[in-house]
Amino acid sequence: MELPYLTRNFPGIGGTIKNRPEDFFVQEIPIYEPSGEGEHIFAEIQKINLTTFDAINRIADALKISSRAIGYAGLKDARAITRQVFSIPGATEAAVMGLKFPGLSILWAARHNNKLRLGHLRANRFAIKIRDVNPTDVIKLRPVLAELQRAGMPNYFGEQRFGRRNDNDRLGAAYVRADHKALLSLLLGTPKPEVDDSQEAAARAAFDRHELEESMRLWPRRAGMERRILHRLIKTHRPSAAVWAIDEKLRRLWVSALQSRVFNEIASRRIESLGTLIDGDFAMKHENGAGFLVENAAQEQPRADAFEISPTGPLIGFRVTLPRDEPLRIEQEVFLSYDLKPEDFKRTGQLRVKGDRRPLRVQPTDVDVAAGVDEFGPHITVAFTLPAGSFATILLRELMKSDTPHGGAEGAEAKQSHE
C-alpha cells in the first residue's frame, strides 16, 4: 500500500540515506536516569555495524552472564551509529567500563535497582545525512519541516516493519486466522525474484510444486529457520505442527506487522485532518499516554491545536478500545477490508493479542537542517527528536518524497522475518 504524504503540496528533494553507517546517528533518550544504587548496572553503549543483539551477546559472553538477563529499551539499527542503554546484572561499574570490542564502546555506567524493560524510552534523537541531493535544496526543506512541526507528522509504521519480502503482515494475518497452509506457502514458497536470490527462489518454487524433499535440498544452509520448519512438515505431514515449531518471537513479530498495516491504512484515511478531532474519537494525551473518549470535539479541539492531545488509531486486538460514530465506522471498514475482527486475536495461541491505541500523529521537536560537504560529497543533514515508537523514515519520506530511500531506520532489526 502506498501511503499518502501529509506534505504533498511541497516538492521532495529525492536523494538516498544510509550510504554508510556514519550517515545515520540515533541516540535513545531514556524515561529515567539511573539512581546510583542497586543490583543492575545501567550502561550507555555506542555501537556501529552491530545489531542490538550482537552487542548484548558480546557483553554477556565477556561478563559470563546470560544474555537474557541484560535489559534494553528498544532495538536499534546495525548499519548506523547508535547509542542505547543496557541494564546488566551482577557486574560492577569498573568491569562494564573496561569492556572493549570492535565497533562497540561503553560511554558511562551507573547502578540502578531494576532491569531495563522494552519500552522504557521517552524518545530518540536522530541526525541523518541525505546524499545524492543538491545542497541548495536545504531551502526547500525548511517549510516542510515547519509544517510537520505545526501539524505533526503521520505516525505511520515504517516499511521496515513489514520485512524484506514485504509480507510480514500477510504472515500475521494467516497466523491469526489459523490458516496454516497459507502461512507455510508465504514462508517457504511464493518466490519473489525481485528480492529472493536464485537458490532461495528455486527452493520456494519447489515447495509450491509440493516437492518438499527437493525444496529442502535447495534451501541454503544459512536458512536455518526455513529448513527447520520444512523438516517438521516433512516429518509430520501436518501444517499445524510445522507452524507451532516457529519461534514465538517471530510469530509475535508477524502479528505486530499486521497490526501496523491496519493502523497505517486507518491513518492514511484521515491524512487530510490528522490533528482534527471528531465526535466519538478516542484521543490520547501526549504527555502521559492517557486516553479518553471525545464527546465534544469542538470543545477539545484547542487542546489538539496546542498538540496536547491527538486522535488515535487502533493496534487491533481482542481488548482494543474502540471509538464511536464516524471514527468507529472508519476503523470497522478497514477491519472488514482485511477480513479481521478484534475477537480474532483471541485465537493466536499463547500470544492472545490484547491490542492498544496509537496517536495518528506525532510532533518532531528540536529540528535542525543544514547543508554540507565531506570526503564523500555533498549532503543535507536533518536532525530531530521523535517520541519512542515513531519512525525516522516517515519524516524523511515527507522530505524526499521517495518510498525507496535506500536504507532503513530505527527498528531495522525487527524487520528480519525470514531472511
Which of the residues are catalytic? 77
Cell numbers at residue 108, please?
558511562
- The three-point CA angle 133-78-16 to 5° equals 10
Task: Please state, in angstroms and rounded to a whole number, the distance separating the CA atoms of residues 45 and 59.
Answer: 10
Nearest to 157 by CA among 252, 265, 52: 265
DSSP symbols for 9-22: TS-----EE-SSGG
Q: Which residue has the cell 492498544?
A: 356
Contact 54, 78 (CB under 8 A): yes
CA 242 from chain center: how many Å? 27
Alpha carbon distances (Å) from 161 to 9, 268, 299, 366: 27, 17, 36, 26
Contact 327, 266 (CB under 8 A): no
Nearest to 416 by CA among 78, 108, 141: 78
Task: Please state, in angstroms and rounded to a whole number, the distance separating the CA atoms of residues 268 and 3.
Answer: 6
Q: Which residue has the cell 524526499?
A: 400
Q: What region does 159 belong to: left with phi over 0, alpha with psi -120 to 50, or beta? A: alpha
Task: Please state, in angstroms and rounded to a whole number, the distance separating the CA atoms of residues 190 and 187.
Answer: 8
Helices 198-208, 180-188: inter-axial angle, 10-degree rounding? 150
